[in-house]
Amino acid sequence: MSISSFTGLETARRGLLAHQRALEVAGHNIANQATPGYSRQRVSLQASPALAVGPMGSASVIAQLGTGVDVNGIERIRDRFADVQYRAQASRLGDVSTRTQLLGQVELAFSEPGDNGLNAALGRMWSAWSDLANDPTSSPARRVVLDTTKAVADRYAELDAQLALVQSQAQEEYDALVADGGPIHGIVTEIADLNEAIGASLARGDAPNDLLDQRDLLLDRLSEFGQVQVQATLDVHGQPVAGKVDVLLGTDPTPLVSGDVAREPWSVAFAPGGPGVGKLGALADLASAGGPIDAYRQEIAASASALASTINAVHQGAGGPAVLVVPPGSPVPGVARPPLQVDAAIDPAAGGSLAALVAGSGPGQGNDVATAIADLRGGAADEAYRKLVGQVGSEIAQAQRTESSVRSLAGALQDRRDSVAGVSTDEEMADLIRFQRGYEASARVLSAVDEMLDRLINRTGRVGL
């Protein structure tokens, strides 16, 4: 077939447009180098359909004449498998970092070792009983016994109150995160809106790369709160809907987002145990009955009960009243209660009398009772509390080690994602020079063809030219 003389102009024009688009994409990449969640883009080029070349007047084809280049699309460079790995690790990081933070508050509540901790208060109380044994008739010694015993009871109550406060804070933070209009609800609603916009863009034949980046960034943020699962939205025939995804969180089988529809009613999405691993799961666990903080409070109550029973057994055995009493009931998640109280019979402020404190028994009222109580130092109550402090310290140290490990792995996975999707300034600058040279070369081709056609059209047939 015959080839038009103007084919070269079209070939040069295609080259100009292709390199212009490539320059624009490289500039877009450089401009968004620091944009969170941005994935670098690349122009996909392919050779435009060739023209068949054959002898004049013949239908046979002896060659294919290239016609330049076409822009086939603008690709978003992204590793989907790396996204899945990172989001799984982000859920773990949200879980362990939340636990480490709240358990750190628990550690501060114990104040061990230190002069303000319960262990120091117990030591002062045992010492006060020893002093009373040295001077069993001394009223000031009895007063010191009463005051140090009150201090122990107050420290037990304060410790329980502080742990109850940490529980209530965990519950409040959980409620704020899942509340209607809260952070998670906002993310889910925005993902549904982006699903709609992405689907409409694809239906028009566009490539909504920046919208896809925004949706992936929201999915990254959502993964901090719980395990995120992303799957294609299916139509009534079970076929994937272009551009739309369903988003599930944790163990809940019902999607938070289904296509361009956000879950309603919102509160149903967060039944107990639903969030699984993640910030929500950690908060729910720490705030719950039977969770780690609740277990600490139970241990504190058990230590207080052991202290009261051992002291009272000696004191009441000598004919005195109870020294310490345990209020009825058990710790309630998020609600403070005193695990231990001084018996009113020995407290003048409550109508009792210091004389009710028994230092000794038998003829001459010796010091055997005070000595026996002082000898309880290091017994079951002290041992239970020391064991609890060791347990808390060990669990917090383990949580910190786990957080460090998980954070390191999450950072490595983020680096891996960045190595694929991140913008390299050096690479983009090299591409800018390459595309610029390609644009200049295409322009030179255009000029050459233009000059050739000018000579053919305007000068052919003129004598002497």
Q: Domain residue spans in the chain?
A: 7-77+424-458, 119-168+293-413
Percent of the chain with pLDDT over 90: 46
Q: What is the mean pLDDT of the chain?
A: 87
Crossing angle of helices 139-178 and 118-134, rounded to 10°? 170
Per-residue pLDDT of 286-334, as tens digits, reads: 998 888 999 999 999 989 999 999 999 999 888 889 999 988 877 788 8
Confidence (pLDDT) at 347: 84
Residue 271 has pLDDT above 60, yes or no: no
Per-residue pLDDT of 195-210, as tens digits, reads: 999 999 988 888 899 9
Confidence (pLDDT) at 7: 79
Rg over CA atoms, the chain: 39
The residues facing 248 across adjacent strands are: 229
Q: CA–CA separation, 312 vs 338, rounded Å?
A: 18
- Bin 285: left if φ > 0, else alpha if -120 < ψ < 50, else beta: alpha
Helix (H, G, I), strand (E, B) or coil at 75: strand
**H or E segment and range at residue 204:** none
Report the predicted TM-score, pTM, of the whole model to 2 decimal places.
0.84
Per-residue pLDDT of 81-120, as tens digits, reads: 999 999 999 999 999 999 999 999 999 998 888 888 889 9
pLDDT band at 266 (very low <50, low <70, confident <90, very high): low
**H or E segment and range at residue 370:** helix 368-374
In the block, tokens 């690349």 appear at 42
Residue 225 has pLDDT above 60, yes or no: yes
CB of 16 within 8 A of CB of 446? Answer: yes
Residue 437 has pLDDT above 80, yes or no: yes
> Between 240 and 54, where is the model more confident?
240
CB of 361 within 8 A of CB of 318? Answer: yes
Query: Cα torsion for 307, 308, 314, 319, to the nearest 10°?
Result: 170
- Which residues have a Cβ under 8 Å from the Cβ of 161 and sit 6 or more positions away? 336
Q: CA–CA separation, 233 vs 243, rounded Å?
A: 8
For residue 203, count other CB atoms closer than 10 A to its CB: 10
**H or E segment and range at residue 153:** helix 139-178
6-10, 175-179, 371-375: the lowest-pLDDT one: 6-10
In the block, tokens 């055997």 appear at 368
Q: CA–CA separation, 58 vs 334, rounded Å?
A: 93
Residue 265 has pLDDT above 70, yes or no: no
